[in-house]
Amino acid sequence: MMRSMTGFGKGSAECATARITIEIRSLNSKGLDLTLRYPSLYREREMDWRKNLGDAVTRGKVDVNIHREAVGQEAVGLQKEWLEQAMQSLQDIAGDPIPKVQLLNMALRLPTPHVSEEIQDAEWAAVDAALEEALHDFQSFREREGAELAKDLRASLESIQAGLQEVPALEEERVEALKARLHRGLEGMEYDSNRFEQELIYYLEKLDVNEEKVRLQAHLDHFQEAMHEGQGRKLGFISQEIGREINTLGSKSNHAGMQRIVVQMKEELEKIKEQSLNVL
């Protein structure tokens, strides 16, 4: 299946302590250029994420943003258990009963203890779920874009194929035109008909394009196979070979009709090269 290097995916999940949102974006690149942005308290997972994401996305300039929004008590910066313990300690120290509101005000003025950055299993599970959803959404986007790319590539290939099928008829016309031109050049002159035939064969051999047609057809078939395999780099290599055969066909054509076909082929080939750059 063909996939595009351009893609976007988003996933989200929530647990008791945080709401996780992950976005993945990618653009064209010769290799994998992965940028990962995440909260500092997630840094222990970076290497694992890089490996897993690298295996999944393969190629492209990829930006992954992991956003964490605290929820519940953590969102307002309160530590319920510590406050309750502080209020109880203040009450024990005071001895006489103190209203809870006053105890709470006193506890809130105390220095807040260091908050542990240890992530609970439930939050890691939420991060993994958000990442899995984002990757699935991202790959689906790439596949949809790839399907559109495949349509454009097939249309351009069919245009080149149609031009190639027009060449044989023009070849016959070209031979007759060459004979007529040589005859006109010899009008009023005595010449050896056998030598004339030899010279004609020589010119026809120089202008013969059968090998170019066969190789061009083979490259077009190979390109179709590579499309089914979804290999962007291979498509780029094959398009270069297609270009070589089209150029040779043009240089040997020596015929206005064939040259027009070659120009049309080159236009379609440029479209193919541009689209192939975006194939994964």
CB neighbour burial string for 142-181, b if at least 16 within 10 angstroms, e if fewer: bbebbeebbeebeebbebbbebbeebeebbeebeeebeee
Q: Quick one: pLDDT at residue 172?
A: 76
Q: How far apart are CA 193 and CA 185, in angstroms?
A: 14
Strand partners, 11: 22
Which listed CATH number (3.30.565.10, 3.40.50.620, 3.30.230.10, 3.20.20.80) goes with 7-73+124-142? 3.30.230.10
- In which region does residue 18 sit, left (phi positive, over 0), alpha (psi from -120 to 50) or beta (all else)? beta
Q: What is the pLDDT along the chain (280 residues), one digit of tens a residue?
A: 799 999 999 999 999 888 999 999 999 998 899 999 999 889 999 999 999 999 999 899 999 999 998 886 554 456 677 778 888 888 888 888 888 888 778 877 776 554 455 788 999 999 999 999 999 999 999 999 999 999 999 999 999 999 999 998 887 777 777 777 776 766 767 666 777 677 767 776 777 888 999 999 999 999 999 998 888 889 999 999 999 999 999 888 878 888 999 999 999 999 999 999 999 8
CA distances from 210 to 179, 214, 240, 258 (A): 19, 6, 19, 14
- Please list the alpha-helical segments (H only) found in 26-120: 46-57, 73-76, 80-94, 100-108
* H-helix or E-strand spanning residue 32: strand 32-37
First vs last Cα of the chain: how many Å apart? 10
Where exactly are the structural domains of the chain? 7-73+124-142, 80-108, 145-276
